[in-house]
C-alpha cells in the first residue's frame, strides 16, 4: 500500500509510543486485575469502555472515511495523483486489515461469508459478544452511561483539528488497543472468565498484518500529512496525551464500577 510518506518509522519514534502504551497497561490496576482473572475487573472494563468502543467506531465511519476528508490541503502538499492513490490505498488497506484480522481468528470463515456478515465482525460486535460471554446482558451493556473521562475520549473523536483527531484520538486508541490485546488475549486467567474461553476482541488486535501497514501506521501517516510543522514532536506529544487519557479513564472506570458492583452485591 502507498502511504503519503515512506519514512514514517524513521520520522516517528514508534518504539517510544509503543513503550508508552505498554507502560500504561503495566501500571493500570484495572487491566492487571483483568490479566490476573478478576471477574469484577473484567466486567468493569467491558461495561465501562463500551460507550467509547461503540462511539469510536461511529466516529471512524463518519470522519475518517477517505471520502469525507478535506483533500485540498493534501492536493497542495502531495499533488492530486499522489493524494488520490494514497486515499484509495488506505481504504483498501483498512479493508484488507479487517479481513486478515478476521481470518486469523475465524480460520474457517470464507470470503463470501465475511462480506455477507461484515457488520457482525466489526470490533464493536466483538466487544458485545465478549460481554455476553462474560455474562453481561445486551440490555445492561446498551444502557451503560459514559463516565466523565470516557465521555472526554468520545468527545475527542469530534475534534475539528485533523492532526489532533488522527494523533490524539485515533493513533492513541490504536496503540492502546494493540497493547491491551498483547496483555490479555492469551492470559489464561483472563480468558477462562469467558464462556467460550477466549476474548475475540483482544485476539483480533494481536493478529499480524502480513506486510500491510498497521492501523497505527496509517493514522500516524495521516496525522503527518495534515500537519504543517515539519516535526514529529507535536504528533508524538498528542499521541502520548491520548495514551495518558486512556490510563486516567481506566482508573476512573475501575473506581466507578468498584462502587456499582459492590452496591449490586449487597
| HEC per residue, 182-221 | HHHCCCHHHHCCCCCCCCHHHHHCCCCCCCCCCHHHHHHH
* pTM of the model as a whole: 0.85
**What fold characterizes domain 8-265?**
Heme Oxygenase; Chain A (1.20.910)
| HEC per residue, 110-154 | CHHHHHHCHHHHCHHHHHHHHHHHCCCCHHHHHCCCCCHHHHHHH
- Confidence (pLDDT) at 183: 97
The model's pLDDT over 73-128, given as tens digits with 9 standing for 90+, comes to 888 888 888 877 776 666 555 445 444 444 444 443 333 333 323 433 467 889 99
- The closest alpha carbon to 43, from 264, 266, 244, 247, belongs to 264
The model's pLDDT over 135-156, given as tens digits with 9 standing for 90+, comes to 999 999 999 999 999 999 999 9
CA distances from 228 to 76, 82, 210, 224 (A): 12, 18, 31, 8
Amino acid at each position: 500500500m502507498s502511504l503519503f510518506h515512506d519514512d514514517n518509522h524513521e520520522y516517528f519514534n514508534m518504539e517510544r509510543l509503543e513503550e508508552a502504551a505498554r507502560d500504561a497497561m503495566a501500571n493500570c490496576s484495572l487491566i492487571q486485575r483483568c490479566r490476573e482473572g478478576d471477574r469484577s475487573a473484567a466486567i468493569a472494563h467491558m461495561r465501562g469502555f463500551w460507550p467509547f468502543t461503540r462511539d469510536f467506531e461511529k466516529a471512524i465511519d463518519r470522519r475518517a472515511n477517505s471520502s469525507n476528508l478535506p483533500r485540498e490541503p493534501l492536493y497542495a502538499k502531495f499533488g492530486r495523483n499522489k493524494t488520490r492513490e494514497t486515499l484509495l490505498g488506505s481504504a483498501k488497506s483498512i479493508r484488507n486489515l479487517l479481513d486478515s484480522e478476521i481470518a486469523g481468528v475465524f480460520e474457517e470463515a470464507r470470503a463470501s461469508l465475511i462480506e455477507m456478515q461484515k457488520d457482525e465482525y466489526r470490533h464493536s460486535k466483538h466487544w458485545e459478544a465478549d460481554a455476553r460471554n462474560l455474562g453481561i446482558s445486551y440490555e445492561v451493556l446498551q444502557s451503560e452511561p459514559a463516565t466523565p473521562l470516557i465521555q472526554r475520549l468520545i468527545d475527542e473523536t469530534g475534534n475539528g483539528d485533523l492532526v489532533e483527531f488522527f494523533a490524539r484520538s485515533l493513533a492513541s486508541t490504536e496503540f492502546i488497543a494493540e497493547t491491551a490485546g498483547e496483555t490479555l488475549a492469551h492470559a489464561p486467567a483472563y480468558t477462562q472468565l469467558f464462556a467460550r474461553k477466549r476474548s475475540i476482541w483482544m485476539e483480533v488486535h494481536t493478529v499480524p498484518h502480513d506486510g500491510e501497514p498497521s492501523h497505527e501506521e496509517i493514522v500516524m501517516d495521516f496525522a503527518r500529512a495534515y500537519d504543517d510543522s515539519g516535526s514529529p514532536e507535536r504528533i508524538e506529544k498528542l499521541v502520548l496525551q491520548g495514551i495518558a487519557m486512556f490510563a486516567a479513564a481506566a482508573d476512573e472506570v475501575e473506581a466507578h464500577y468498584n462502587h456499582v458492583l459492590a452496591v449490586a452485591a449487597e
